[in-house]
Amino acid sequence: MNYIILDMEWDSAYCPRISRFINQIIQIGAVKLNESFEIVDTFEKTVRSSFSKKVSGRFTALTGITTKDMLSGIPLENAVTLYNEWAGTDTVTMTWSNSDLFSIIENEKNLMRGVKFHIEKYLDLQSYIQNEMRVLGFEITSQIALGKAAEMLGITTDNLELHTAKDDSLVCAALLKNHYCESRFNELIKDTQNPEFYKRLLFKPTYLSDIRSREIDRRKLRFKCDVCGSDTKRLGKWNYRNHWFSANFSCKSCDRKFSGRVSFKKLYDNVVVKKRICEIKVAQKSNEVNDEVQSVPEKV
């Protein structure tokens, strides 16, 4: 088995055929690794846009790819065909975050004539490396850029041009080789031939806004008193604002009153529930009752 680290640079441009902006792929770069994660080959092609006569200044500033470079490139279908021949079969393809997959899907749908990237098995390398950083004791609370991850893990990039497809792939390869754990790595490999793979990828999480929805677990609408732990009684109707349901509650034992807040975020195969207990604040110039900003999360 070989391992492919794939990277792409894309530029946002208005596509007249579909009457909207699209992230058109301008450069494809990749490295091929053997089972020891040694680099055995590299790939890089610049793509000539099928509808745009120039690249944006921001894109050039970020990647160093000029309009002249783009116009000297090859059609996207040709570049992908060459990439597929180079990549071969029996491979695990990795990208730094799954954002490249969204770009691939968008370009395949709107710019390519039946040619598709050949990806058999897939792994989100950003997710894997961030997990390994947590194992090492780093506090990771949000997605980390490739250059920042390399800096934090001591990977030198002095001789590389970050934000060019092939060199970004080389940085990814160094991160993987230095921080490989077989069991945790294999757990993240996904089979793209499974219909659930792209359904899950393209699913857009949404917040449930109808308190009567069958997807809402009614038990999650109950609150325990945060002072004495006793059952509470809801005092009024649920209100919905900014993804949160809220209602006032009163403790049956100690008469503690508070505002209970709960949100339900629908993911592909489950619903994430968050709960908070907030103090009730009475406005000075009216009888309106508001929740204070400060709150205490309730254990779910």
Domain boundary among 156, 183, 202: 202
> 7 and 166 in contact (C-beta within 8 Å)?
yes
Shared domain for 246 and 181, answered yes or no, is no
Residue listed under structure tokens 């997807």: 215
Whether residues 163 and 23 fall in one domain: yes
pLDDT at 161: 73
Q: Are 242 and 226 in contact (CB under 8 A)?
A: no
pLDDT band at 285 (very low <50, low <70, confident <90, very high): very low
Q: What is the mean pLDDT of residues 247-271?
A: 96
User: Two tokens at 167?
Assistant: 């060199």
Burial 59-71 (b: 16+ CB within 10 A, else e): bbeebebebebbe
Pair of tokens at residue 225:
């008193």
* Total number of domains constituting the chain: 2
Coil, helix or strand for 68? helix
Of 299, 44, 3, nearest to 172 by C-alpha is: 3
Assess whether 137 and 41 both reside in one domain: yes
List all residues 6 or more positions away from 132 whose beta carbon is below 8 Å from its beta carbon. 179, 181, 184
Residues 91 and 16 in one domain: yes
Give the per-residue pLDDT at 290: 45
Residues 175 and 232 in one domain: no
The DSSP 8-state label assigned to residue 90 in this structure reads S
Domain that holds residue 42: 2-202
> What confidence score (pLDDT) does residue 289 get?
40
Question: Considering 167, 202, 237, which residue would you say is the last residue of a domain?
Answer: 202
Domain boundary, last residue among 152, 179, 202? 202
Band of residue 166 on the pLDDT scale cut at 50, 70, 90: confident
Cβ partners under 8 Å of residue 182, min gap 6: none
Give pLDDT tens digits for 108-135. Answer: 999 988 899 999 999 999 999 999 999 9
d(CA 251, CA 4): 58
Query: Is residue 288's pLDDT more than 90?
Result: no
One domain for residues 236 and 161: no
Alpha carbons 289 and 292: distance in angstroms, whole number: 10
pLDDT-derived band at 141 (thresholds 50, 70, 90) equals confident
